[in-house]
Amino acid sequence: MCEALGASALSLREESAWWSSAAAVALWVVILFHVLFLAAAARQDVQMRKQGWWKEEYFLTRDAAHAQVLKLSPAARLQSAACGACRALRSEGFGGWLQRRLAAFCVRASAASKLQLAELDVEFMLLHMYQVTFSSEESAWTRKRNADFLALQLKVQQAVTVAYQDFVSKPSLCSRFWVFLVQLQPHCAVQSYSLVTRCLMRACVVVANVSGRVAMSVVFFLVLQDTQPRDHACASEWRHVNGIVSGIGVQLLFSCVSRMLQLLWTAVLLLCHSREFKQDEWDAASRQRQLWRWWLQDMAFAGLVVLYAASCATLGAAYIASSSDEDGQRWLVSLATVVLLSALLEPLLKSLLASILAGWCLEDGISLQECLGAPVEPRVKAANTTPVADLGSIREGDEAPPAPRIPASIPRAPSAPAQERDSPGKGRDVGLAPTIHAWRSSPNVLSTERKVREQPDSWRRRSDPELDQSEVKAPVSA
């Protein structure tokens, strides 16, 4: 081993061009590895654009729905979540509850990766399914926003169904490994909807990821060089191997910590974006201002990422240029090995561990309705309870499940006049959460009942030329 390291150091010392060294070759291999995933992500964006669902209205509607949910009391939301967790722990125990939560999280994370959404967005869509409305007024913007939100919910349900089939219906370790390998690549939640902007942002994130690994390895080996004495004996060559193993461990620890910080940062951004929507009605000018605000945020983030990548690359280049002696060349080989193994083998190792963990969590079996957020335990329908809507798997051409009916024992609100009862936004507060009517869904959602959609709205007054002319002439005669 001493002879091999010495020969590699002498060969590196004789060559003049730094790009022909092992460090440069390792960096080129890492960049090529990430370019393949960038091409796959761009191809997925093109396919989603061709399908016609990648529209900014869906995501603007998502944030508006977040704003409506955030109007609820945080104490009430925490209390409901705590009560649900306590009931699950009491019935299944901590081990069974944790296993089911991990299995559901794996399926939902895979669905979020396919939809280019964050895991928290999918959790929100499944938690507040068909229980969000935006206004109680008769407005075309309100109806369109409800339809877009319903269409986005159906897309989320479809993605969760496909992910459930990949994980449960076809329990193959290779398929789960490939799903996690694609999902665990460095990415960010880009708000822009231009394909060029999204590709550039992903490229910036990849460059920052590789440069950050180089800079971290440089700092680690500099500290290791200063703490350990320089000894050219054969026995001291093992410190390079120990340095490589320790460097890979540091990279794995940094990756786990950065992933947790990314989830927390996504939650903070989700909260901040939701706070921006304070109005019930949202015209075209407000939507355009929000799009421009998102574009500025993406550009600012891209600038910070470029500065970070440039500083890390400068540190790595300075370390490579300063490695002139034999011991420095050996540390340079160790640096290249750490960067290569951490950037290539780390996602492979994490994907393998995640696929094994997912297989262990899915051993006892998990139902599709549990992945969709619906309760699976049998419930006794008491006299003063409301039946829960069955959330089965909804395909592309199906309609949403009907709203739960109100039992006769529940006291109803006093009947409203005919005009108010026929209006779409009034007369709904009868003890249930407001639901989004499936017959007013977007054109992307197919329906078997075409006749209902072709009929005019019953709450809208039909035009009468004589009556309209009399209403116009009345102020003039006065």
The rounded radius of gyration (Å) of the Cα atoms in the chain is: 29
Q: Where are the domains of the chain?
A: 19-35+190-361, 53-171+364-378+387-402+422-457
- At 156 the pLDDT is 80
- At 172 the pLDDT is 72
- At 225 the pLDDT is 66
Hey, which of 9-18, 30-39, 185-194, 404-413 has the most confident mean pLDDT? 30-39
- Mean per-residue pLDDT, 452-463: 42
Is the per-residue pLDDT at 435 higher than 60?
Answer: no
The average confidence (pLDDT) of the chain is 62
Is the per-residue pLDDT at 399 higher than 70?
Answer: no
pLDDT above 70 as % of the chain = 35
- At 212 the pLDDT is 73
pLDDT in tens, 336-390: 667 666 666 777 777 787 777 777 777 666 777 777 765 545 434 344 444 443 4
- At 29 the pLDDT is 72
- At 190 the pLDDT is 54
Q: Going by C-beta distance under 8 Å and a sequence separation of 6 or more, which residues neighbour residue 341?
A: 244, 248
Rounded CA-CA distance 336/334 in Å is 5
pLDDT in tens, 51-86: 665 556 666 666 666 665 555 555 666 666 677 667
- By the 8 A CB rule, do 36 and 216 touch? no
- Mean per-residue pLDDT, 321-325: 63
- At 213 the pLDDT is 73
Is the per-residue pLDDT at 92 higher than 80?
Answer: no
Q: Tell me whether residue 277 is exposed, middle or buried, using C-beta atoms within 10 angstroms of its C-beta: 0 to 12, 13 to 18, 19 or more.
A: buried
Is the per-residue pLDDT at 7 higher than 60?
Answer: no
Measured between alpha carbons, how far is residue 13 from residues 196, 235, 266, 322, 323 in Å?
Answer: 42, 22, 46, 12, 9
- At 198 the pLDDT is 72
- At 12 the pLDDT is 43
- At 324 the pLDDT is 59
- At 434 the pLDDT is 39
- At 56 the pLDDT is 61
- By the 8 A CB rule, do 348 and 181 touch? yes
- At 77 the pLDDT is 60
Q: Tell me whether residue 117 is exposed, middle or buried, using C-beta atoms within 10 angstroms of its C-beta: 0 to 12, 13 to 18, 19 or more.
A: buried
- Mean per-residue pLDDT, 88-97: 69
pLDDT in tens, 134-190: 555 556 666 666 676 777 777 788 888 888 877 776 667 777 777 777 666 655 555
Q: To which H or E segment does residue 280 belong?
A: none
Q: Confidence band (pLDDT; 50, 70, 90) for 99?
A: confident
pTM of the predicted structure, to 2 decimals = 0.52
- Mean per-residue pLDDT, 331-335: 66
- By the 8 A CB rule, do 404 and 391 touch? no
Rounded CA-CA distance 5/197 in Å is 44
Can you spell out the DSSP letters for 313-346?
HHHHHHHHHH--SHHHHHHHHHHHHHHHIIIIIH
Is the per-residue pLDDT at 215 higher than 70?
Answer: yes
- At 359 the pLDDT is 75
- At 102 the pLDDT is 76
Is the per-residue pLDDT at 110 higher than 70?
Answer: yes
pLDDT in tens, 234-271: 445 566 666 667 777 777 777 777 667 766 766 666 55
- At 356 the pLDDT is 79
Alpha helices, DSSP H, located in 184-283? 195-227, 238-275
Is the per-residue pLDDT at 191 higher than 60?
Answer: no
Q: Which amino acid is at 105?
A: F
